[in-house]
Amino acid sequence: MLYLWLKAAHLIFVIFWMAGLFMLPRFLVYHQEAEHGSPEATRWIDREAKLKNIILNPSLIIVWLLGLVLAVQIGAFSQGWFHAKLLFVLVLSGYHGWMIGYARKLAKGERKLTGKQLRLINEVPGIAAAVIVILVIVKPF
């Protein structure tokens, strides 16, 4: 029974994390379009910080902790599908860190990407989530 509760909690926090990963790039698009130092840019900096501190970072930590506990419980480390899933979760974790770093750059007035590039980057979590779900449900290898 504990396994099912851990699995449910893991999925709940995956949903929270993914919501944040979809929201942050959108916030960055709007932030980037605001003039550096303007009241609007300041509001986006605040929103990005709240998203990071209240949703993104806590969810990431809980997802990893629960995911590793679940993986140990089912012996997933010996299964091919799990290695692929782990790779995609590592990519999403790197994406998470990169987006947080880009938010810091925007706060300093550095705009290295265009709004279009940020909108395209926003597709990464959706694609990764689709692949992860297929790996976990279908277990193709």
Burial label for 116, CB within 10 Å (0-12, 13-18, 19+), is exposed
User: The tokens of 48 are what?
Assistant: 């990005």
Coil, strand or helix at 140 = coil
Please report, for residues 35, 55, 57, 58, 80, the alpha-carbon distance to residue 87 in angstroms, rounded to integers and kept in the order given: 37, 22, 19, 21, 11
Do 6 and 69 contact (CB within 8 A), yes or no?
yes
Burial label for 69, CB within 10 Å (0-12, 13-18, 19+), is middle
Task: Tell me: is residue 85 an annotated ligand-binding position.
Answer: yes
User: The tokens of 73 are what?
Assistant: 């419980």
Task: Tell me: is residue 10 an annotated ligand-binding position.
Answer: yes
Query: Using the 8-state DSSP alphabet, how is residue 35 labeled?
Result: P
Query: Residues comprising the binding site for heme?
Result: 10, 85
Query: Residues comprising the binding site?
Result: 10, 85
